[in-house]
Amino acid sequence: RTNRLPPGPPAIPIFGNLFQLGDKPHRTLAELAKVHGDIMTVKFGQTTTIVLSSETMAKEILQTHDAISCNRTVPDALHALHHHEAGIAWMPVSTTWRNLRKICNLHIFASQKLDANQHLRRNKIEQLLADVGDSSRIGESIEISTVAFKTTLNLISNTIFSVDYADSSSNTALEFREILQVIKEELGKANFGDLFPTLAKLDLQGIRRRMAIHSKKMMNIFDKEIDKRLELRKMTDYIPAQDFLDTLLQISEDDNEELDRNLIKHLFFDLFTAGTDSVTSTLEWAMAELLHNPKALQEVRRGLQQIIGKGNVLEESNVTRLPYLQAIVKETLRLHPPVPFLLPRKAEVDIKIHEFVIPKGAQVLINAWAIGRDPNFWEEPELFSLERFIESEIDVKGTNFGLIPFGGGRRICPGLQLAIRMLPLMLGTLIHSFDWELEDGVTPQSLNMDETYGLILQKTQPLKVIPRSI
């Protein structure tokens, strides 16, 4: 029987491509995985979506059939400004996409490049320390997602432009943050056009129109950054900034066919939208899990004290010697992958996996959340345990299909290398420099760990903690 797919549950879309069962959105992923096994069909409107929820199914798509499933189904909102044709995350696999990936891998996210601009991130970590230090002096609690977002946005904006976009005193930064927020809200809305593609052009909810207005504003900010830099680059005594912008302008000057201004701006759009919330959410979950599991926190802190020493700062190069710090990042990404269904893929032809055929044109979602908790792959999957990654080869880099928070195959997240530098650096710094107290009445056991399912998997109750200087 090769053409049968199991029927799906009654599902209603909560936004774009994603689903809610019944009235409990935060249980959605658990329901999908536990009730419906490792392959499930969801039909709604004119769309058919196949959800895959096991390591073996993920491997079929991300490895065996990657070549015929590596294009995306694109949310209608992203047709604004033709982003789906120029943005690396959404355009089909093509010569332009390959070039952009090559540029990212070789010139932006390569180890030597990230080594060369780590001072940009170091500065932002010092600012994080100063901000948290201010709160600790007056004994006030902080929302981890707020400081995590500020630091992540600054880390990314400095890595790209050598500027602070999380610095509220500049108008551009303020405007940028507002636009980013509105874009995320529009992208998170249930869009009728995604379910009935033949009606999408009518844009009944105005989502595409508003996306176009805000994306244009964001592109204008990028234009200004590019113009400013081009002026600087004309000066004879200009010293290159070692950031992404300089690198991309150099590549564009060498060969404008390969990379023009439009592609650069759409690339920035994707880097900011893909990078900020995923890192922020992971950091918040990692802190929450450590406070929920004090023994794990002690273990990570002990390692930091031994390797870094009291009063010294953590550097990116120290992380390889801190296995528990690396393990906490992996364990957090296993339990709380920020992009729980990865980004959607599309079956270009009928795809046969095991005894099923995924029909041509169907949207394929890989449930990384369920795979990270699959008892057939993980021992005691609900248990938060750093030990499972000590002396284990399992990594997040797309070759172990039981742990795929960054996806896999051709479309694996290109920001992976940057993310796995930023996360331990921020997390290690917060743990090494401060003791963290939960607010009155909250104990490690009673800390709320509910997940809310939005564009990104978030903590339902933001984590609030009081830092105490060590």
Binding site for ligand HEM (CB under 6 A): 88-89, 156, 270-271, 274-275, 278-279, 282, 338-339, 342-343, 405-408, 411-415, 418-419
Pairwise CA distance, residues 435 & 136, whole Å: 10
Closest CA to 76 of 259, 208, 230: 208
- How near is the Cβ of 156 to ligand HEM at its closest, in Å? 5
Which amino acid, one-letter code, is at 31?
E
- Residue nearer to ligand HEM on the CB measure, 156 or 328: 156
What 3-state DSSP class applies to 291?
Answer: helix
366: β partners:
52
Nearer CB in complex with ligand HEM: 136/278: 278
394: three-class secondary structure by DSSP: coil
Q: Which is nearer to ligand HEM, 203 or 456 (CB)?
A: 456
Nearer to ligand HEM, 275 or 424 (CB): 275
| DSSP 8-class letter at 365 | E
Sign of the CA dihedral running 154, 222, 239, 242: positive
Half-sphere exposure of 29 (CA within 13 A, CB side): 29
Shortest CB 335 distance to ligand HEM, Å: 13
The residue type of 298 is Q
Cα–Cα separations (whole angstroms), residue 107 to 99, 201, 242: 11, 38, 11
> Residue 465 Cβ, how far from ligand HEM at the closest point, in Å?
21
Shortest reach from residue 438's CB to ligand HEM, in Å: 24
Unique residue bearing structure tokens 């997390």? 427
Task: Find the shortest distance in angstroms from Cβ 5 to ligand HEM.
Answer: 22
Q: CB nearer to ligand HEM: give 353 or 412.
A: 412
413 is in an annotated binding site: yes
How far out from the chain centre does Cα 222 lie? Answer: 21
**Which residues define the annotated binding site for heme?**
413
**Which residues define the annotated binding site?**
413
